[in-house]
Amino acid sequence: MKTRQFGFALLLCLLPAGVLAQGADKSVLLKPPADSWPTHHGDYSARRYSSLKTINDTNVQDLSLDWMARVTGGIPADQQGGRGGSGNVRVSGSPLLVGGVLYFTANDNAWAMDAHSGRVLWHYFRESTGEEPVTANKGMGMYGNWLYFITRDNFLVSLDATTGEQRWVLPVADPKQYYFSTMAPIVIGNHVIVGTGGDSLDLSGFLQSRDPETGEVQWTHYNTPREGEPGIETWPSEYAAAHGGGGAWVQGAYDPELNLYYYGTANPNPVYSPQSRKGADLYTSSIIAINPDTGKMAWYFQASPHDTHDWDAACDMVLIDGVIDGKPRKLLAHASRNGYFFVLDRTNGKSIVSAPFVDTLNWSKGLDQRGQPIPDPAKEPSLGGSLAWPNAGSATNWPPPSFSPLTGLFYVGTEEGYGVFYLSDTDDHPQGYGGIESALGTISGSIKALDYKTGKVVWRHVWPGGGGAVGMLSTAGNLLFVGNQNNLVAFNSTTGKILWHAGLLAAPNAPMTFMLDGRQHVLVAAGDTIYSFVLNQTAK
């Protein structure tokens, strides 16, 4: 482990008051103030909505760059000693903002950056074991003055937020078995929630809670059942279930009143080869509600029963306090990779809306009594190939959608893609990938604004040259900020009209916004660069 501190003692004297002076305590996490973004989505609801409106649909055209800062990963050149290396990195998630400091990660690196100027305060790098199956993670979690992130080779790292010094490093799962963990850890009470995924080998994904002080495992919840547990009847055997996949590699949402954490699980294994796992394959490709204190499941809803196309339900869960049939309801909205938009009662998992949000969906024969799709066996992978919409690239993916209480609209990046799915391993017990998919093409990629009460499209913006899943932020200023290709774009969130855009050096992640020194900032990470935008104060 190496930590590089950039004249840290001197910086303490030069930084504005408040920088590095506070952490993310329980009150900040439960009700984030306007000058913070203390968890991956800004708050526990995962709506990616801000009540700030200094920047709005009447003045967003005056938004201009305040600062940009580029970071370099690996061991610093003066400390390499023949190991590691420097080079460009990709920041794949939203930074945290607490006390005027940004905290973010890329690969096995972590940084603290002054949000006023983009000056790096400290940089941490951990050399991996060389067994890393993936190259990205979605960022950090924070508990008080402690930070948490997961490395490429599946270790959970805890750092001191003030100094960047390593507190401890502990394994989550064995990367030699091709486990990976890409989610940003979520802190709930005295729990640091992490999850695992893994497609290529026959694994069982799990969600896990760690003690924030010591890293000790508090509980582990496997996403496929074991012998004697409910759901085991949907698998041909206990062995098939125990090796059946269902990773938890995207961060979830949390309702403090119900004390329930909501997350989506990945596809079942073997992939593309359903003959060895006939049945619904619970609880893969499902939305799960879990008690974060005990690790016990409260309810589930399966978005893709018997998933044979590698779609999974590992996309964001968005909590909405809405109105259905004139009555207030606690809702969960989920645009799934299989092309369906679901709205559930988050107290019990009952379906309220199940509707396609792409025009070309063809794999389902309808809905069952729970509102779950009924797969069409004719669209399963076959020796001669089966044409299905959407393809494995999916109707959407992990970049986060947004929900605006101002408009009542759910915003999601979509793609109308299709592919032919082939069965290549006809053995009764295939392993890993038992088939392949040939992605033939895409008709269009667009942003769609959905009415959460019906799932109907209120407006759409079709991207020239294609699109797909993109990260989003909506605000009380009637704005929707979206990243697409190498641009950050602001839409009127009610009408879908483009109001402003800025060209960036790389494709951006989901934007975030906050108040700092009396000014509203819109901040986004793109590639190895952080950009901060504010209103041009000289504009008329």
Among 196-200, 236-240, 420-424, the range scoring the smallest mean pLDDT is: 196-200
85 pLDDT more than 50: no
pLDDT value at position 198? 72
What's the confidence (pLDDT) of residue 182? 87
Q: Which of 89, 212, 91, 90 is nearest to 147 (CA)?
A: 212
For 244, the token pair is 């059946």
> Of the given ranges (195-209, 269-283, 416-430), which has the lowest mean pLDDT?
195-209
Active site residue 281: no
CA–chain centroid gap for 292, Å, is 19
Q: Which amino acid is at 405?
A: P
CB atoms within 10 A of CB 540: 4
Taking the model in full, what pTM does it have?
0.93
pLDDT at position 425 over 50: yes
The full DSSP string for 9-48 is: HHHHHHSPTTTTS--B-HHHHHS--TT-B-STTSSTT---
Q: Write down the mean pLDDT value for the chain.
A: 90
User: Quick one: pLDDT at residue 79?
Assistant: 47
Looking at the DSSP bridge assignments, the partners of residue 501 are 489
Q: Which two tokens stand for residue 205?
A: 């994904």
pLDDT given for residue 133 in this prediction: 65
Check pLDDT > 50 for residue 81. Answer: no
The predicted-structure confidence for 317-353, as pLDDT tens digits, reads as follows 999 999 999 999 999 999 999 999 999 999 999 999 9
Q: Is the pLDDT of residue 393 over 60?
A: yes
Quickly state the pLDDT bin for 87 (edges 50, 70, 90): low
401 vs 441: which has the higher pLDDT: 401
| Structural tokens at position 138 | 């979605």
Candidates 310, 312, 425, 528; catalytic one: 310
Mean pLDDT of 133-145: 86
The pLDDT of residue 440 is: 79
- The model's pLDDT over 269-304, given as tens digits with 9 standing for 90+, comes to 999 988 889 899 999 999 999 999 999 999 999 999
The more confidently predicted of residues 507 and 112 is 112
pLDDT value of residue 110: 96
Q: What is the C-alpha to C-alpha distance for residues 391 and 78, in angstroms, rounded to an integer?
A: 47
User: What per-residue confidence (pLDDT) applies to 19?
Assistant: 45
Q: Which of 203, 71, 63 is nearest to 133 (CA)?
A: 203
**pLDDT grade for 75, boundaries at 50, 70 and 90:** low
pLDDT band of residue 10 (cuts 50, 70, 90) is very low
The pLDDT-based confidence of 201 (bands split at 50, 70, 90) is low
**pLDDT at 495 > cutoff 80:** yes
Answer whether residue 215 shows pLDDT above 60. yes
User: Is the sign of the CA dihedral 183, 502, 520, 113 positive or negative?
Assistant: positive
Label residue 525 exposed, middle or buried (CB < 10 Å: 0-12, 13-18, 19+): buried
- Judged against a pLDDT cut of 60, whether residue 1 lies above it is answered with no
Query: Which region among 318-322, 453-457, 480-484 has the lowest average model confidence (pLDDT)?
Result: 480-484
Q: Angle 389-301-251 (CA atoms, 0-180°, nearest 5)? A: 85
What is the pLDDT, as a whole number, of residue 339? Answer: 96
Give the CA angle between residues 465, 401, 252 to the nearest 5°: 140
Task: Note the pLDDT of residue 22.
Answer: 59
Q: Where are the domains of the chain?
A: 1-173+506-540
Q: Tell me what pLDDT residue 446 has.
A: 94
Taking domain 1-173+506-540, whether its CATH number is 1.10.1660.10 is answered by: no
Question: Which tops the pLDDT comparison, 13 or 259?
Answer: 259
Note the pLDDT of residue 261: 98
Mean local confidence (pLDDT), 115-142? 87
